[in-house]
Structure 1
């Protein structure tokens, strides 16, 4: 089937990345910072470019994933925390981006490599302009018993609400309604406007599935997205 691997991405990843840009309220000609260069973050970048974003920044610390973002036409930002914020501010002449997309979730890490569920949310508030929109599709859970802090165990975080309020920003969150987007995204693929299959790194048989999950769990460099072929 022609473009089969592109259509496979309609099962979840592509609609979720698109949803991030919808939640952020991204419009053509606007800039956006996307935190996370995993499959969803890369699809958010792809979606933003399709929508006509003027500048798309992708923030992460994994060089292999940032290379994919750059190949798509986005600007990679190899940093985290305050350093990432400062780089985005420098690249936007101090204005910050019009929108922001959080595509990491509660397992994000701070600059020391320690899990910190507030890291991306506070950074995205700092790097998004006043009145800007923020879309959150990264998963945040109500309880996380294995978290490092008592606050995080209850699904809570030290969030910079003062800056968020003072800047008059808006945040929209939630799981993507995949079926609501599938028809329009399928048409984009059909007419050659979208190519989400470009992030696929490995094609495995069903017998090789355990290997794929092992590398996924270990976050092995180079393993971006795997498809299984019976």
Structure 2
């Protein structure tokens, strides 16, 4: 059986001689080490017995599918878990990058009734449509209004934030709070929101003093009034990769 290394780096003894105050570096996550993660041409996995995942006999034939288990597929799946998605529910996903598209794909696997994906890049929106999602171009009008129209004014049952603090409006202005506030408005009363887009304690290149401290102006009053729940956090890849591997194998 072939093995797939997770997108994780662990410091070796030699590494610690160079970075003596650093205990480890994992998943390319900000503040967890000097490495850039596993989305690269070459990947080293010092503790492969723990980090590697055994793949079925069809690994070579489905290598483009199995490689998604290193990070992207589990993270997209994790976002739908945080949102609390159940079969038959509608969901809106902000961001049609790799994680957003995998969140959309995960939602379909879970039996979502409607999957809406918000972005403004034509190539990403075409990919979203190619997997059966409804593409919403926020450069052509309010994404919130479009979601409400598609859900008869109620809003989506669930929402996923797959953009993070570097969210920009169609004019290119950074608004770290934009997708979070749009989700509050797009998701129904008592709905759930999952957040896997990266938000950091200090914005390294802020366009506003508030963002420098990792703070955003958030519509908490509306969120509270609507009784919404929010789940956040980095994905624990190993909590999902075996289950998702088996889904790929059985597909």
TM-score by length of 1: 0.82
Q: Secondary structure at the match of 2:142?
A: helix
74, 83, 94: which one pairs with 2:142?
Answer: 83
Establish whether residue 100 from structure 1 lines up as the match of residue 159 from structure 2. yes
Q: Secondary structure at the match of 1:69?
A: helix
How far 1:141 moved relative to its partner? 0.3
More helix by percentage: 1
For residues 132-181 of structure 1, the C-alpha deviation after alignment (integer angstroms, 9 at most, x for no partner) is: 00000000000013110000010000100110000000000000000110
How far 1:113 moved relative to its partner? 1.9
In structure 1, the partner of 2:234 is 175
Kindly name which structure, 1 or 2, has the bigger radius of gyration based on alpha carbons. Answer: 2
**Paired residues of 1:17 and 1:43 also in contact (CA < 8 A):** yes
How far 1:2 moved relative to its partner? 1.6
Establish whether residue 43 from structure 1 lines up as the match of residue 102 from structure 2. yes
In structure 2, the partner of 1:145 is 204
C-alpha separation between the residues in 1 aligned to 2:72 and 2:99? 6
For residues 31-79 of structure 1, the C-alpha deviation after alignment (integer angstroms, 9 at most, x for no partner) is: 0000000000000000000000000000001010010000000000001
Establish whether residue 19 from structure 1 lines up as the match of residue 83 from structure 2. no
Establish whether residue 133 from structure 1 lines up as the match of residue 196 from structure 2. no
Establish whether residue 54 from structure 1 lines up as the match of residue 110 from structure 2. no
5+ long unaligned stretches in structure 2: 1-59
In structure 2, the partner of 1:216 is none
In structure 1, the partner of 2:24 is none
Q: CA RMSD in A?
A: 1.2
For residues 80-131 of structure 1, the C-alpha deviation after alignment (integer angstroms, 9 at most, x for no partner) is: 6970000000111100000000000000012432111000000000000000
For residues 165-212 of structure 1, the C-alpha deviation after alignment (integer angstroms, 9 at most, x for no partner) is: 0000000000000011011100100011xxxxxxxxxxxxxxxxxxxx
C-alpha separation between the residues in 2 aligned to 1:90 and 1:47? 24
How far 1:5 moved relative to its partner? 1.0
107, 110, 129: which one pairs with 2:169?
Answer: 110
**Paired residues of 1:58 and 1:69 also in contact (CA < 8 A):** yes
